């Protein structure tokens, strides 16, 4: 699913393919230029004028490629029953946008005369990746479907069943009965360059068999949602709209270079910013779905976040790029192996880690039972931790597992006395008090959370800008556990004397969810 961020909307389009040999290498007829173009000149400060030859002229028509590949593209109509309170426009996960022809809702009576759950009709796109009926689309197109109808270019309507879905990459495979379908290939090798032509074919607003053209705008886009932990999206400017989700983006040789999945738009319509799942990712995922119905990923049981330059500065580790452990799942592989909250992860099996996304992907590549060797920094020293990988649960199971409080990992230092000092302090723009029984009752803080409680936050402070609120618990400073306001004040003073502009606070909210937040020293 696309990011929970205002302005992002998922379209309905499918894409994937194992192209037929007859389609591979499909070319385009290039019209001759009307006039010989003159060489371009680019002036650079260092080298002066640089002469370059002009590129070949743009194609005057995309008709040849459309004629060859369009029979492999299908329209997908989905019927599903949903909770009336959660009705949404499929392709608009935030329930925004006007109701279009591909999104219709109705309600029918049950056998007992009582209303059943409303029926939602929606549509998307997809494409054949094999002659025997396998079709690729987006997970959000067919998720929750109880009836799927596929319409081919020649007008035939076929019933389809779901073979497998992967919510983490928003890909799905469905299948229709038959053995002689036109299909297309994923292009996993030669990627178009930024600026190269691409063409999309799909079912926007229920208007099947629609072609649009544009260029590759960028690679490696992050949509700030769960899928971005596993997908670096291709940005294209070929117009795609609701109903295009799951459809293919082709290069000028008729090869699939991406599966359309989302658009960025303040209105819900195309503004020239669309996102496609790269072909190499789609090819790998769809093969796993066809062979086993699901995608199995490695899992260690740890919530992680980026180790930012601000964090590195606070810890005296300038220049270190890594991920940091924010929370450990009780009873999970990481806890059993001895990984701790606040551990800074530098590598997995020798592969350098420069972000939380890199760590997630590297762990996900592991097979269940495989030993993953993590290089970490703890208490300023490097060490290795071997973790036997488990199987990653579904997103729903993960969300359920992290809904409650977590045990205090008490990393970096010995156990402190349970009874804190009674003195309240003002530090970093916050009023901080002991976490006593009254504070636990007032802010609904569980007994397993240790630290000091934030009672006030100055609105112009860096802490407020970083999202620190009343009722948060500060559990550590620079990865050293604290249990009293005095310890917090002392740690901040020490960082100031060391010339550090920030301190790294370990925070827990009222649900017990933890995170590391760098806060500037006031």
Instruction: Determine if residue 243 is labeled as part of a ligand binding site.
Output: yes
Q: Among residues 170, 251, 342, 343, which one is catalytic? A: 170
Q: What angle do CA 375, 380, 385 make, to 5 degrees?
A: 25
Beta carbons of 306 and 355 less than 8 angstroms apart: yes
Is residue 180 annotated as involved in ligand binding? no
* 140 in catalytic set: yes
Closest Cα partner for 353 from 307, 322, 317, 384? 322
Element spanning 335, H or E? helix 333-337
Distance of CA 132 to the CA centre of its chain: 31
The single residue of 140, 227, 270, 389 carrying the catalytic annotation is: 140
Q: Is 241 annotated as a binding residue?
A: no
Choosing from 227, 245, 261, 356, the catalytic residue is 245
Taking phi over 0 as left and psi of -120 to 50 as alpha, with beta for the rest, 379 belongs to: left
Can you tell me the distance from the alpha carbon of 110 to that of 245, in angstroms, rounded to the nearest whole number? 32
Measure Cα distances from 337 to 21, 330, 401 in Å. Answer: 49, 12, 19
3-state secondary structure 476-498: EECCEECCCHHHHHHHHHHHHHC
460 is in an annotated binding site: no
- Beta-sheet strands, E only, within 290-400: 298-299, 302-307, 322-328, 344-348, 351-352, 371-378, 381-388, 390-391
Q: Is 138 annotated as a binding residue?
A: no
The closest alpha carbon to 472, from 503, 432, 413, belongs to 432
**If we measure between CA atoms, which residue out of 373, 371, 404, 409 comes closest to residue 390?**
371
Is 170 known to be catalytic?
A: yes
**Does residue 414 have an active-site annotation?**
no
Task: List the catalytic residues.
Answer: 140, 170, 245
**Residues placed in the known binding site for substrate:** 140, 170, 243-245
């Amino acid at each position: 699913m696309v990011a929970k961020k205002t302005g992002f909307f998922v379209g309905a389009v499918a894409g994937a393919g194992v192209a037929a040999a007859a389609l591979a290498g499909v070319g385009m007829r290039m019209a001759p230029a009307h006039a010989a173009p003159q060489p371009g000149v680019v002036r650079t400060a260092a080298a002066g004028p640089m002469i370059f030859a002009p590129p070949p002229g743009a194609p005057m028509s995309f008709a040849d490629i459309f004629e060859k590949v369009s029979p492999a593209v299908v329209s997908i109509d989905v019927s599903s029953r949903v909770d009336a309170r959660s009705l949404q426009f499929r392709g608009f996960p935030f329930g925004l946008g006007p109701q279009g022809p591909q999104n219709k809702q109705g309600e029918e009576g049950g056998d007992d005369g009582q209303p059943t759950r409303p029926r939602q009709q929606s549509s998307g796109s997809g494409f054949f990746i094999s002659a025997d009926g396998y079709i690729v689309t987006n997970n959000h197109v067919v998720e929750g479907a109880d009836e799927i109808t596929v319409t081919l270019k020649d007008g035939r309507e076929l019933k389809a069943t779901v073979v497998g879905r992967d919510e983490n990459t928003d890909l799905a495979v469905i299948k229709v009965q038959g053995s002689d379908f036109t299909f297309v290939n994923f292009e996993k090798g030669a990627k178009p360059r930024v600026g190269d032509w691409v063409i999309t074919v799909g079912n926007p607003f229920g208007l099947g068999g629609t072609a649009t053209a544009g260029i590759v705008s960028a690679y490696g886009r992050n949509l700030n949602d769960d899928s971005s932990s596993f997908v670096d999206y291709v940005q294209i400017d070929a117009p795609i709209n609701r109903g295009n989700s799951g459809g293919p983006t082709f290069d000028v040789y008729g090869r699939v270079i991406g599966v359309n999945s989302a658009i960025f738009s303040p209105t819900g319509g195309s503004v020239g910013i669309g996102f496609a799942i790269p072909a190499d990712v789609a090819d790998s995922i769809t093969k796993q779905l066809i062979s086993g119905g699901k995608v199995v990923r490695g899992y260690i049981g740890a919530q992680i976040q980026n180790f930012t330059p601000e964090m590195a500065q606070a810890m005296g580790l300038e220049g270190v790029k890594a991920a940091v452990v924010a929370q450990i799942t009780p009873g999970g592989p990481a806890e059993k192996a001895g990984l701790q909250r606040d551990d800074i992860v530098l590598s997995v099996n020798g592969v350098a880690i420069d972000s939380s996304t890199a760590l997630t992907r590297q762990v996900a590549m592991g097979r269940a039972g495989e030993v993953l060797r993590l290089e970490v920094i703890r208490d300023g020293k490097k060490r290795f931790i071997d973790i036997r990988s488990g199987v990653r649960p579904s997103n729903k199971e993960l969300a359920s597992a992290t809904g409650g409080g977590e045990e205090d990992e008490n990393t970096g230092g010995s156990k402190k006395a349970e009874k804190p000092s009674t003195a309240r302090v003002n530090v970093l723009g916050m009023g901080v008090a002991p976490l006593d029984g009254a504070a636990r009752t007032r802010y609904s803080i569980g007994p397993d959370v240790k630290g000091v409680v934030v009672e006030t936050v100055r609105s112009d402070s860096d802490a407020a800008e970083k999202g620190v609120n009343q009722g948060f618990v500060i559990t550590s400073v620079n990865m050293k556990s604290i249990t009293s306001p005095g310890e917090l004040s002392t740690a901040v003073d020490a960082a100031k004397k060391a010339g550090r502009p920030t301190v790294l606070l370990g925070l827990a909210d009222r649900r017990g969810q933890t995170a590391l937040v760098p806060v500037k020293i006031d």
